[in-house]
Structures are given as C-alpha cells and as structure tokens.
Structure 1
Amino acid sequence: MNDLTVVIVDDHSIFRSGLRSELDPALRVLGEAATVDEAIAVVVATQPRVVLLDVHLPGGTGGGGAEVIRAAAPLAPSTLFLALSVSDAADDVVTVIRAGARGYITKSASGAEVSEAARRVAGGDAVFSPRLAGFVLDAFGAVAGETAATTDELDRLSAREQEVMRLIARGYAYKEVASALFISPKTVETHVSAVLRKLQLSSRHELTAWATARKLL
C-alpha cells in the first residue's frame, strides 16, 4: 500500500522521533501528539488512515488511548487505531480493544514490524502481538451467542475451532495462531477448513466479515 497516512501518538518525544525515523518511507506521517487532547485534535484535523496510539497518555479525563479512540473515531470515520505500548497487561489490552482499536502490538516491535502492522490494519485486518492472544480470547469469547442464530452457528464448531476462528478473523497468520495455541500450522489449516465448511463460508475474508457482523471480534 503506497502513501499510507499515519499519526503517531505517544507522550515521549524520543520514542515518537525514533519510530518516525524507522517507519517505512511509504508511510506518510501527518502529525504527532503527546496528550489525549492533542491526539484528538490532530486525528480529527488530519484524518489519517491509521493512528499509532500509545495506551497510557496524560490529559483528557484520564482515559488514555481508549479515550482518544472514543472521542476521535466518530469525527474521523475512516481512521483506524493500532495500539502500540510497552504494556502487555490484560487490562490495558482489553480496555483499548473494547474502545475500538483494531490491533495491539508492543513497543518491542521493530519499525518494519510496526509498518507492516499498520498496513494490515489499513487493509482491514486486526493485528495483535501473538502473546496477547489469550487476553483477547478471554475478553471477547463471551460475546459469542448474543443471538440464538449466532449460538446455533457457533455450536457447530468445537471449542478449539472457535478459538482458531476468532484469531484468524482478527487477521492472525496461520503460524501466529499455531504459536498462540501451541499447535502446528498444519493443524491450524485443518481447523480453518473445518470452520469454513461448517459455517458455509469460502474464505478468511468472509470469515472476518461474518465474525465482525456478529460482534465476535
């Protein structure tokens, strides 16, 4: 994807400048922000495709990155948010994803990895650091079955197939799912084939749309 526009939000100027220098040149940085209020203003003013968003930020009412998403998203409908934080605490992950972030990666990621994650988010995928998968599954597994129809559909899947389905729908690669669930990529492939067959879907893109429509992400 060429000329992907981004905004960098972090309260440490050294991190912002370092990340900016390491991002793929094809990612065009429209602005930076250090606080909740600055972030909301910059995102609304520039309308970037992706915001690289720290979870803990000063300002606002104390809600950090989640507050930025809740305030800015309605005013920047085409903007997507990718959390980028030193924290891998379950509460932080769950809070920002519930607010609407399309992914969550840790700051141990390289510039190339952040660039690729931004591209994937911009392309419609959900992106998470593999070790965060358990938090995401625990936090969002309970939303399955909000309607009788969804319950019936999910009942066709085994517990393991449901785990694989959610991770694949969020944009994980087969190898990432395998690592998160401690199974082989071949086993993941087998589960995905079974999920698609049982749900009468033809591709992982259809699976993502299916899961999104049923609020399973």
Structure 2
Amino acid sequence: MSSLAPADRLRVVVVDDHHLFRAGVRAELGEACDVVGEAATVAEAAAVIADARPDVVLLDVHLPDGGGVAVLHGLAAAAAPPAVLALSVSDAAEDVVPMIRAGALGYVTKTINTDDLIAAIRQVAAGDAYFSPRLAAFVLQAFSAPPTAVADEDPLETLTPREREVLHHLARGYAYKSIAHRLGIGTRTVESHVRAVLRKLQLTSRHEVSHWAATRGLLEDDPGDAADPDAGSA
C-alpha cells in the first residue's frame, strides 16, 4: 500500500450509509491518510465535516434524505469547503453528472483499488479533478457538449410515468416512506426517482418541487390524498 509522509497526511471524512464499507475504507487508508470522521446521513455529514474540517470528503451518492448532492449543496455555503471525491457503486451518468455539477471534484467507483483511491484523494486535495477511466469520457462530453434541450419543451414531458407519480406525492408533502408504501416500491427506489425528478426539473429541494407544481396547477384537490402523518420527514 502507498503511504504519505506524516507531514503530508491528508485529513479525510468518509460519508456512506454502510458501516462495514466505512470501516473498510478506514482500514485501507490507515497508513496513508487520517480518517478524522464518519457519517451515514446528510445531516450527520454536515455536522461531522464542520467539526472535523477535513481536506477531502469521500462521499457516497445514495444517502438517505437527499443523497450526496444534498451534502454538496450544503457545503457550497461554507467559507472554505473541503474537496469532495464521490465514491459510489454507480457509474451511471444520471448519478455521476449531478454530483459533478453540484461541486464534487472527482468521481470513482467502489471497485477502485487502494493505491488508485489514495492517488485520487491526493489529486482532488490538490484541486485537480479525478475520474475513474471509464467515466472520464462521458463526463467530458456532458460538460463540453452544447445544450440539446428544446427551449419550448415541457419539463414535465421529460419525466417517466413513475417519476410523475413520485412528483405527485412529493409535491403534496408525502415523506419518502409514505410514497414508497403508496406506490408499492422501496424507499431507496423512491429516493432514486426523486433525484431524477430534481435533476430533470432543475430543482434542488422538496419546497421547490411543491412551488413548481403549484404554479402549474398540479396541486388541485385530489380525493385520494390525505394529510401525511410523516410529512416533513423523509
């Protein structure tokens, strides 16, 4: 395993909702970096990062309560935010591109070996972008290609039928677990659909979704809707 000289050891926070994965990363980086904090949710990440002041945050894409993009949005307001390296099982464009647009300086998959992960951490800490080789091409394409969207296209038309169902409930204040129960799908699947809705509509929060839907007359009374006892929590 590669190792850094003590004076060069970087301070790292690992944000992932799987304890065993965080423990594995800590063990792998132990000789090269100081893992100064761990978090499993968006809220925990905000507190740990503010307290630990790391050089680099290793950030999973699929976190409860908004995902890695929500953590990045929170960091955007910081005076001196740390470099963020996304570390995920997903190499799908719909996960990669929003993370980079939200401020991640690099993106690697969890199949990366330890030496390459250490190299990636060093590179983003130095202010340079780093991507797994197979991701680099479509990231470059996504950020260099001219916009292809038609100006008059209705954003609602870009949503799949399932995404529209999720939008319908999300805009009315239903929590993720309530939406999952109503639609007969898993909470993680709801989170994935919500990320897609936010990305396609170019919105950043539940409040913006509700406002967007209301201004388009999509929140007319629906007899099938009732107050959600879990509203306000995802």
Tell me if both proteins adopt one fold, taking TM over 0.5 as the criterion: yes
Once the two structures are superposed, the pairs formed by residues 68-147 of structure 1 within 5 Å of their partners are 68-75=71-78, 77-142=80-145
User: In the alignment, which residue of structure 2 is the partner of 1:53?
Assistant: 59
- Radius of gyration: which is bigger? 2
Q: Which moved more, 1:71-80 or 1:110-119?
A: 71-80
**Matching of residue 31 in structure 1 with residue 37 in structure 2:** yes
**Matching of residue 42 in structure 1 with residue 45 in structure 2:** no
Once the two structures are superposed, the pairs formed by residues 197-208 of structure 1 within 5 Å of their partners are none
Structure 1 residue runs of 5 or longer lacking an equivalent are 145-217
Partner deviation per Cα, 1:104-135 (whole Å, 9 max, x = no partner) = 00000122221111011111210000101222
- What is the Cα deviation at residue 143 of structure 1? 6.2
SS of equivalent residue, structure 1 residue 124? coil
- What is the Cα deviation at residue 32 of structure 1? 0.1
- What is the Cα deviation at residue 98 of structure 1? 0.1
User: In the alignment, which residue of structure 2 is the partner of 1:66?
Assistant: 69
**Matching of residue 13 in structure 1 with residue 19 in structure 2:** yes
Instruction: Say if 1:24 and 1:112, in contact at 8 Å, map to a contact too.
Output: no
SS of equivalent residue, structure 1 residue 28? strand
TM-score norm. by structure 2 comes to: 0.57
Partner deviation per Cα, 1:186-210 (whole Å, 9 max, x = no partner) = xxxxxxxxxxxxxxxxxxxxxxxxx
The CA distance in 1 between the partners of 2:85 and 2:128, in whole Å, is 11
Aligned partner letter, 1:38:
E
User: In the alignment, which residue of structure 2 is the partner of 1:3?
Assistant: 9
- What is the Cα deviation at residue 24 of structure 1? 5.0
TM-score norm. by structure 1 comes to: 0.62
Q: Give the structure with the larger helix fraction.
A: 1
Aligned residues: 141
The CA distance in 2 between the partners of 1:23 and 1:53, in whole Å, is 15
Cα RMSD (Å): 1.7
Structure 2 residue runs of 5 or longer lacking an equivalent are 148-234
